[in-house]
Structure 1
Amino acid sequence: MKGKGIVLFFVLPLVFGQEKTYTWDAPGQTLAPDPINPCLTDQDSCGCCVMQRKKWQLEEYLNSSMNSLEDSLARAQNTLRNIRENRVAFSVGLTDRRRCIGPARTAINVVYQSIFINIGEAYNSSTGVFTVPRSGVYNLAFTVFSDAGSPGASLSVCTSIRRNGVALAALREMYDQDQEDQATAVLLAQLRVGDRITISLHTGCWLCDDQNHYNTFSGFLLYAAE
């Protein structure tokens, strides 16, 4: 009995004196401590662990917010760039002084020399041609006016708006009773880059104008289309 007691006396300290370390890692697998995370190197600093976790969450939130803001800014800049590129508008008058053109023996392009607005510089005041800079749907309008000179004289106002030489719409006023007459046409047209839009004065007809700008030609891009 004395011998057995001695053996038990030495065995118990070995059993109860050992400390076991439990880990979530698989047997034989140990993660290297993160040098910037004191929570893994100093298990007593629980408050520091909480602060580190909150700091990491805040960094994640700020990074996500910054990325979202950068994406929104890029989209806004792209939208603004498209708006600027799509700004196409012009409005012109025939002349700033008393003048008549026609009657002509053949149809001619009406050259409007008084420019009210020409955003995009697509209208050429030397040729009277509006060259489409961007494909899309355009609003086009033109007004014509003429003066026979005296009551009872023949009045002939006849023009057409043309795309690449092909008529889109026409105006025609021919009377013997009216000394003056005027007409307007407004239309929407699907146009492509490079299309040439002109106002044609027909054979035997004429237009008269002065600083009041009775004869006008206008257009603008309603929306772009690829």
Structure 2
Amino acid sequence: MRAVACVLFILSLVWDSVRADNSISSLKMAAASWEGELPCKEWNCECAFKQRGCCCAATDLQEVEDQIFHKVMDLSRRVFQLGDTILEVLGGIRVAFTASMSHKKTCFGPFTRSTPIPYNLLTFNHGSGYNPALGIFTAPRPGLYSFSFSVYSKVQGEGEKMYYKVQLMRNGEAVVSTWEDNREDSEDSSSQTVLLSLEQGGQVYVQLLSGRQLCGNIEGLNTFSGALIYPTLT
């Protein structure tokens, strides 16, 4: 807009001198010979008449362009920094695990007391909340968690009794369970999923009740997993 105003101003100043001959050449000569004060002190007559869009505003426009470029680059840098910060925060609250029982040639159980099941084959353990040696998950931070477990067992021989009961425990108390007690099935499986609210340090594990057993090729079929859905304030 400044460039257009500048050109119009000059044309208005020199119009009287070129009224008889209004060619571009005459306008150029008249503008170049003008000795009065111009609102555009850096007016370049040669530039203005030969290159479209080139005028005394070019320097100002270049400065504006540079300012915009630097602001965009600074904004881009800040966005990347924000992204890194978000990733750091998310990494700090990422809690999830999944594990399974390894292959056993003999049955797991029976035991004289209820026993935590050792899911010792870890697929991943983000947040290091799960202890594969004990089979116990300890919440590293308070929040709402999702837990799932699957159970599989197969009797040793025809006519043997399918006899197991598995419970998901929270801080020593049973939350959900699954079981089988019959002689009709040679093998069976089941699963459970539950949402639990935990305080920091709260413990969750899956246990086999006393007197029960899990048999057969249980590798990869008996699993335990959990994940933080969202953290809560302490």
| TM-score w.r.t. length of structure 2 | 0.67
Distance in 2 between residues matched to 1:61 and 1:95, nearest whole Å: 61
**RMSD between aligned residues:** 2.6
1:110 to 84, 109, 117: 117
Which residue of structure 2 lines up, in the alignment, with residue 13 of structure 1?
none
Which residue of structure 2 lines up, in the alignment, with residue 95 of structure 1?
102
* 1:129 Cα offset (Å): 0.8
Distance in 2 between residues matched to 1:190 and 1:209, nearest whole Å: 34
* 1:198 Cα offset (Å): 0.5
Which segments of 5 or more consecutive residues in structure 1 lack a partner in the other structure?
A: 1-42
1:170 is paired with a residue of what secondary structure? Answer: strand
Distance in 2 between residues matched to 1:53 and 1:72, nearest whole Å: 29
Which residue of structure 2 lines up, in the alignment, with residue 178 of structure 1?
185
* 1:51 Cα offset (Å): 5.4
Q: 1:138·1:222 contact (CA, 8 Å) conserved in 2?
A: yes
Which residue of structure 2 lines up, in the alignment, with residue 46 of structure 1?
41
Over 3 Å counting, the alpha-carbon distance change for 1:216 and 1:50 in structure 2 is same
Query: Partner amino acid for 1:176?
Result: R
Which segments of 5 or more consecutive residues in structure 2 lack a partner in the other structure?
A: 1-37, 44-55
Larger mean Cα displacement after TM superposition, 82-91 or 182-191: 82-91
Query: Partner amino acid for 2:222?
Result: N
* 1:56 Cα offset (Å): 4.2
Deviation per CA, 1:92-117: give whole Å up to 9, x if none: 12222323222222211111122233
Q: After TM superposition, list the pairs within 5 Å mapping 1:24-39 onto structure 2.
A: none
* 1:156 Cα offset (Å): 1.6
1:134 is paired with a residue of what secondary structure? Answer: coil
1:124 to 120, 131, 145: 131
Which residue of structure 2 lines up, in the alignment, with residue 222 of structure 1?
229
Distance in 2 between residues matched to 1:88 and 1:55, nearest whole Å: 51
Which residue of structure 2 lines up, in the alignment, with residue 158 of structure 1?
165
Q: 1:142·1:186 contact (CA, 8 Å) conserved in 2?
A: yes
2:213 to 191, 195, 206: 206
Distance in 2 between residues matched to 1:87 and 1:132, nearest whole Å: 11
Which residue of structure 2 lines up, in the alignment, with residue 3 of structure 1?
none
Deviation per CA, 1:78-131: give whole Å up to 9, x if none: 222233334333221222232322222221111112223323332211111112
Q: 1:151·1:178 contact (CA, 8 Å) conserved in 2?
A: no
Distance in 1 between residues matched to 2:105 and 2:124, nearest whole Å: 21
* 1:142 Cα offset (Å): 0.7
Distance in 1 between residues matched to 2:146 and 2:40, nearest whole Å: 73
Higher radius of gyration, 1 or 2: 1
Moved over 4 A (4+): 48-52
Which residue of structure 2 lines up, in the alignment, with residue 74 of structure 1?
81
| TM-score w.r.t. length of structure 1 | 0.69
1:106 is paired with a residue of what secondary structure? Answer: coil
Identity in percent: 26
Over 3 Å counting, the alpha-carbon distance change for 1:209 and 1:87 in structure 2 is farther
* 1:61 Cα offset (Å): 2.1
1:191 aligns with 2:198: yes
* 1:45 Cα offset (Å): 7.8
Which residue of structure 2 lines up, in the alignment, with residue 17 of structure 1?
none
Over 3 Å counting, the alpha-carbon distance change for 1:178 and 1:112 in structure 2 is same
